[in-house]
Structure 1
Amino acid sequence: MEKLKSSLLNMVLVLVGVAMVIGAVLAWVNNITEKPIADKAQQTLANGIRDVMGTADINVDEPDSLTLDLQGKAYDFVIHNVNSTSGDYLGAAVESTTLGFGGDMKVLVGFDAQGKVLGYTILQASETPGLGAKADKWFQKDGKGSIIGRSLADGNLTVDKDGGDVDAITASTITTRAFLKAVNQAYAAYKGNDTDGESGASKQKH
């Protein structure tokens, strides 16, 4: 067999062939992993909703998507309205995202029918390693900066260094501010879930 001559054309053809093979392999891997990843994400969210609402005996409505204009910037929220198995309205779990120290921080916050914080969990954090895990515990019932049971109808939650009464995570005031902002905005979305476009909120139900 005649040896393939080395030329620019031959090298380009080989590179294109290799790229096509790699692309096909990646597409195949993505195809077989996409559904398990999506299923895991849905299960994580479902578990998170039960956790932040404080009970597993619930029925969750189809999620609502909501965009609010807050301080001149558009923020997107996902609201999961929750009922008891007997049909009583319990409140809602709200997905809220803000910019933290290292990137986006996505928080799921549970509110009861009166707007009190039932619980929260952090779905995504790009903070300094360890800070995201610390934030997931710091504001819980037994944490130093607990927000559980707080009513945001009385006003936004604010870190103590800014004149509020929520203890900041040790050496991480920026992360604390980002977390509290996510919670405050989640409450705004929860209260604005039934508003129309005239109020500055747009709602789209999936």
Structure 2
Amino acid sequence: MKKLESSLVNMVIVLVAVAVVSGGLLGWINKMTEEPIKKQDELALANGIKSVMGVENLTVTANDEIKKNIEGKEYTFIIHKVDDANGAFLGAAIESTTMGFGGDLKVLVGFDAEGKILGYTLLQHAETPGLGAKADKWFQKGEKGDIIGRQLTADNRLVVNKDGGDVDAITASTITTRAFLKAINQAYAAYAGQDVDGKSGATEQVTAPCGKTNCCQTECDPVSCDNSADCPMNTTKE
């Protein structure tokens, strides 16, 4: 019995020692990699700002944060104000996040001083490969859903054609398209000092062709729509 108790004590001591050493090792690794990762992220953001503003030689003069509660969730918009090489105000690159089909969709979009879209890049997304993931190219200059050069105002926002607008939706990915355009519209609103709302998002519920309201306008969710077999769009995954 004493031998058994001794073995249990030794086992506990070994397990505690392993846990302490492992914890210390993980902490050391995190500390060693924290700074390089931070620098890499900063470099990626700096290159992203240059890309969406369309200018190589620029200076970021301010990084303003605006927090907004949209549809019960808090989002942070970061406005990177930019000057050109001569110190003249160019506009701003704005980080904007919305809920896409597969999770958060984070966009960096550049606007000039008048609110014209200069460029964009996706910073983060979890959209379906081959479908919603096409958003990184679909809305670029010369592409089918081209939004570059569009002038946004309080009364002139980006709306997908399936909702009565003039922006072509990504093929079989209306939800991602709505989420992307929502991110751009909200970025502009934050930049222009307007109210940031939750309109035109991926979670908007309207009546689908199958008669269900828990679907998007032209697509049925096969999980939540028990009548999805009757929906002409039931093969769409997004």
TM-score range, shorter chain: 0.7 to 0.9
Q: Distance in 1 between matches of 2:60 and 2:189?
A: 20
Deviations 1:85-142 (A, max 9, x none): 1011110000000111111111000000110100000001111234464111100001
Q: Which amino acid aligns with 1:98?
A: T
Contact 2:111 2:117 in 1 (8 A): yes
CA contact (8 A) 1:135 1:169 kept: yes
Structure with greater proportional helix content: 1
Q: Which amino acid aligns with 2:27?
A: A
Mapping of residues 24-63 of structure 1, within 5 Å: 24-63=24-63
After superposition, the Cα gap between the structure-2 partners of 1:71 and 1:11, relative to the gap in structure 1 and judged at 3 Å, is closer
Distance 2:69 2:189 in 1: 10
Is the contact made by 1:60 and 1:80 (CA closer than 8 Å) also made in structure 2?
A: yes
Q: Does 1:172 align with 2:173?
A: yes
2:200 aligned partner: none
User: What pairs with 1:16-95 in structure 2 (closer than 5 Å)?
Assistant: 16-70=16-70, 74-95=74-95
Q: What amino acid does structure 1 have at the position aligned with 2:166?
A: D
Change (3 A) 1:131 1:28: farther
Q: Distance in 2 between matches of 1:110 and 1:92?
A: 6
1:68 match: secondary structure: strand
Structure 1: segments with no counterpart, 5+ residues: 201-206
Q: Deviations over 1:37-92 (max 9, x none)?
A: 10010000000000000111211113111123556764311000011110111100
Distance 2:27 2:72 in 1: 40
1:100 aligns with 2:85: no
Higher-strand-fraction structure: 1
**How far is 1:11 from its partner?**
2.4
Classify 1:130/1:15 alpha carbon distance in 2 versus 1 (closer, same or farther; 3 Å).
Answer: farther
Q: Give the Cα separation in 2 of the matches to 1:29 and 1:15.
A: 21
Q: Which amino acid aligns with 2:66?
A: L
CA distance in 2, matches of 1:69, 1:22: 40
Matched, 1:152 2:152: yes
Q: Secondary structure at the match of 1:61?
A: strand
Q: Distance in 2 between matches of 1:28 and 1:130?
A: 39
Equivalent in the alignment of 2:139? 139
Which residue of structure 1 lines up, in the alignment, with residue 182 of structure 2?
A: 181
**Mapped partners of 2:110, 2:166: distance in 1:** 20
Q: Which runs of 5+ in 2 are unaligned?
A: 197-238
Tell me if structure 2 keeps the 8 A contact 1:64–1:80: yes
Closer, same or farther in 2 for the Cα pair 1:167/1:29, shift >3 Å?
same
More RCO (CA 8 Å, sep 6+): 1
Determine if contact 1:68/1:189 at 8 Å carries over to the other structure: no
User: Kindly, what percent of the aligned residue pairs are identical?
Assistant: 62
Q: Alpha-carbon deviation of 1:177?
A: 0.8
User: 1:43 and 1:131 mapped to 2: Cα distance?
Assistant: 29
DSSP 3-state at the match of 1:56: coil
Q: How many aligned positions are there?
A: 193
